A and B are shown apart, each in its own frame.
Chain A
Amino acid sequence: MLDYSVSIKYMLAGYTVFLAIPAVYLISLVIRVRNLQRDLQTMKEFQKKNPK
């Protein structure tokens, strides 16, 4: 049988990973959406200033 203190330590490490990786991914999604929205805005403004 595993020692309780050792077992809890690894369980906490595991759940930290379960929470941290999706959290980092969610943050990356938000950042990428913001960057793309800014790019889109810039492109639209550029097209307004320089019509073909």
Chain B
Amino acid sequence: MKPQPIALKVLNVFSVLLFLAAFGMVFLYAPLEETMNYVQKIFYFHVANAWVGMLGFIAAAVAGVVYLVKHDQKWDIIELAAVEISLIFFITTIITGSIWARPVWNTWWTWDTRLTTATILEMIYIAYLLLRQGIEDPDRRARFGAVYTIIGAISVPITFLSIRIVSRTIHPVVIGATNGTATGSFNMAPPMLFTMFFALFTFSAIFVTLFWHRIRLGQLAQQVEQLKLEEMQ
């Protein structure tokens, strides 16, 4: 494996510093919300995790399209990396959302529109990883992955728009007008808004860093797989 490029090393340090800064802003800069108080602080990283999760699923679909056009295995590696990291961020979103919901909604879980679509989204991509493992031929596996991620990406806008389209939802809308049935909404003071956007930027940088590392891992795995195939032939 090639040593890490300088840009990646810089990105590693930058991501850690940004994470510490975002952590500091959440606890030292953003004011305490009046009704939910401390538990509301989950919101900043929850939204940022959801953002990068969805971003990664879209990136995987884009990589899928490029693979179908170019038939280059490197796009399959990129697609797999995007899905895997997005799954990590998205499962974090679902779990922390559930933790926030317990004191605010008085339940860990409810089959609300957003929660249901988010769960389906997560399941679609867990299935992607499982199904991939069942295909041995690298070209077939890559073709399957590309088509799957393109179709799977349809669930991203559905999940994002679900609380904006369906009027009877308990989940608050962060950006845009929230509806009357939402529980846990709050007026965002400018420092809260600034902290949220800073967290979005921070997690985007962390995503790029992890993405790069995961792509390098994929390239190494491909090298090992090729050597094994050569030996078998």
Contacts and interface: CB of A to CB of B under 8 A. Distances in A.
A24 to B, nearest CB: 9
Interface in A1-52: 1-2, 4, 6-8, 10-11, 13-15, 17-18, 21-22, 25, 29, 32-33, 36-37, 39-40, 43-44, 46-47
Given A17-B92, A43-B228, A11 B39 contact: yes
Interface residues of B, number: 36
A40 B228 CA distance: 9
Contacts of B38: 4, 7-8, 10-11
A1 B37 contact: yes
A29 B1 CA distance: 14
B88 A14 contact: no
A9 B212 CA distance: 35
**Interface centre among A1, A11, A13, by most B CB within 10 Å?**
A11
A10 B37 contact: no
B37 A25 contact: no
B68 interface: no
A29 B213 CA distance: 8
A14 B191 CA distance: 21
B180 interface: no
B227 interface: yes
Interface string B66-95: 000000000000000000010010011001
Given A33-B1, A40-B224, A15 B39 contact: no
B223 interface: yes
B148 interface: no
A4 B37 contact: yes
B103 A6 contact: yes
Given A18-B92, A22-B88, A7 B36 contact: yes
A40 B219 CA distance: 12
Going nearest first, the 9 A-B pairs with the smallest beta carbon separation are: A14-B42, A7-B38, A43-B227, A11-B38, A7-B39, A10-B39, A36-B220, A14-B99, A14-B96
5 contacts: A14-B45, A14-B46, A17-B95, A18-B96, A29-B214
Interface of A: 1-2, 4, 6-8, 10-11, 13-15, 17-18, 21-22, 25, 29, 32-33, 36-37, 39-40, 43-44, 46-47
